[in-house]
Amino acid sequence: MSTVRLRVSVRGVVQGVGYRAFAQRHARTLGIRGYARNMDDGSVEVIAEGPRATLESLLDALRRGAPYSRVDTTEVHWEAATGEYTTFLIR
């Protein structure tokens, strides 16, 4: 299976509610590499690499959100993987 990159900007109530840790738990469970980080505009950016079907599972979780979060929108981009990540981190 070929590896691709998923770039997601998640907007809503996603900072200060455990959303990045939620993303990390799901990503690590799925064996996905990359990171989640807070952005200055209040969104969370998630960069993830892995097989497309596995990334789709992560995307489903990101759209549902963490227990205390509220996801309003997700802006999704599919890109070529770079292979630069060894694990999934919170930045």
CA distance 59 to 65: 10
Position 34 scores a pLDDT of: 98
Strand, coil or helix: 5: strand
Considering the candidates 5, 20, 63, 64, report the single residue annotated as catalytic: 20
Considering the candidates 38, 63, 64, 91, report the single residue annotated as catalytic: 38
Q: List the domain range (segments joined by +) for residue 83.
A: 3-90
Residue 1 scores a pLDDT above 90: no
Residue 38 annotated in active site: yes
Domain of 28, CATH number, reads 3.30.70.100
Instruction: Indicate the pLDDT class of residue 54, thresholds 50, 70 and 90.
Output: very high
Strand, coil or helix: 14: coil
Burial grade of 67 (CB within 10 A; 0-12, 13-18, 19 or more): exposed
Q: How many domains does the chain have?
A: 1
How does the average pLDDT of the chain come out, rounded? 97
